[in-house]
Amino acid sequence: MMPTGERLRKNAYGRYYVTDECDGCGACASLARINVEASPDGSYYYVIQQPLDAIEEAALKAAMGACPRHCLKDDGDRN
């Protein structure tokens, strides 16, 4: 199936999410281990938990910058 840029359903509800464009490279997980997890088959990552503090928020923002496919997104105040 072709990626559409849509939010993956497996993401935790909230402002940060991964889209279906993720190829499972793991760059995000190396920076935001608490908030990002691999799918069971390792083919993609998703946000398992929204940030609970400023440290986790900073880690997710760093992960967004490191994502080569730009598929880790932030909707800002929108949920």
CATH of the domain at 35: 3.30.70.20
Domain that residue 45 falls in: 16-74
Q: Which sign does the torsion angle of CA 48, 50, 52, 56 carry?
A: positive
In a domain, 11, yes or no: no
Residue labelled with tokens 């990002």: 36
Say what the pLDDT of residue 4 is.
83
Say what the pLDDT of residue 1 is.
59
Give me the average pLDDT of each 10-residue run along the chain (79 residues).
85 97 96 97 97 97 97 81
In a domain, 1, yes or no: no
SS3 category, 28: helix
